[in-house]
Amino acid sequence: MSEGSERASTRRGHDHTAMLAANERALWISLWLTGIYFLIELGLGVASGSVAVISDALHTFSAVGGVLLALVASRIAARPATRYSTFGSIRAEIVGAMLNGFFLIVMAVVVIFMGIFRLLNPADLNTGLMLVAAAGGIVTELISLRVLYAGQRDNLNMRGAYWHVVQTFVGSLLIIVAAVVVALTDFVEIDSILGIAFGLVLLWAARGITRDSIRVLMETVPTDVDLPDVVAELRRIDGVEDAHHVHAWALTTGRNLFSAHLLVADDTDPRRALAAAQSIVRDEFGFYFSTIQIETECEEDHRATAIDFADTDHNDRAGATAPLDPDMPG
């Protein structure tokens, strides 16, 4: 590896470490804010007997659980690689995101069913206490969303925690809207209608987080990687006759890995071919790490064909140029 490549790799490692530290700090802030306000809101609900306020307090508690789950996953993910866990524990972020996705799906279903139940069984609402509880929630939730926003853009684990807080924030907004509408019109059904609508939005968000997490755990090709394009570029290297046993997957969000066998002509300098291939996958396609084997003949031509995406010259190459179906598991 060249000196420039080593510097780039070291910089990416430092950047990722700093990102993990920033994400953990954001999660701690959000956990304390949502946790403290959950206790306050639950106390208000119990003191007043307001079902609406107690319900929102339970939503806040779900956010506490979601943020705590993301925090635990983040701490585990920071563990370094060992001889027993050669990639480290960074995939804990993806497991945490998947669990949070399932958690959000459950909460979405609960919110929808609660809305339907209230729609069929309208109840009187204490609008004054609803406004007090919602206003306090909005303040704490806005702060939480602000500190979580940067991390959730590139991290599935943070995105799961972020959407838990979004759920409680929108819930607080809906309480204010419902309280105002009820106070002005006595149309108590608005609370249920808004709740059902948001439950559907939450279900959509949870589906995306869960789907993306499962794709990483199933080691599908990352959605930002055009694998046929990578194979085509490798085959354009001077002296390279074929690229096969090609694999691309994500270790976690933002860390894509790549491996391949390159068949080269007998008179090709293997070191120059390897350097060119590594440069392509690193600089042009942004892979975090690659393992590339240079060979002058393929001794495994007929082995493991079930997991060989890029066919060799001895097989039909149509599969190497066909577009990938993003909904396929691999």
The answer to whether residue 326 sits within a structural domain is no
Among 217, 237, 266, residue at a domain's last position: 217
Tens-place pLDDT, residues 280-306: 999 999 999 999 999 988 766 566 677
Question: 87: domain CATH number?
Answer: 1.20.1510.10
Give SS3 for 176: helix
Tens-place pLDDT, residues 193-213: 888 888 888 888 889 889 999
207 and 64 co-located in one domain:
yes
Give SS3 for 239: coil
Among 217, 251, 272, residue at a domain's last position: 217
The answer to whether residue 161 sits within a structural domain is yes
186 and 157 co-located in one domain:
yes
Tens-place pLDDT, residues 50-67: 666 777 777 788 888 889
> Whole-angstrom Cα distance, residue 62 to residue 52?
16
> Whole-angstrom Cα distance, residue 256 to residue 294?
21
| 164 band by pLDDT with thresholds 50, 70 and 90 | confident
191 and 234 co-located in one domain:
no
pTM of structure: 0.76
The answer to whether residue 180 sits within a structural domain is yes
The answer to whether residue 330 sits within a structural domain is no
272 and 234 co-located in one domain:
yes
Q: What's the mean per-residue pLDDT of the chain?
A: 82
Among 185, 217, 249, residue at a domain's last position: 217
pLDDT of residue 110: 84
Contacts of 213 (CB under 8 A, 6+ apart): 94, 95, 97, 98, 101, 156
156 and 237 co-located in one domain:
no
210 and 248 co-located in one domain:
no
Note down the domain range covering 105: 3-217
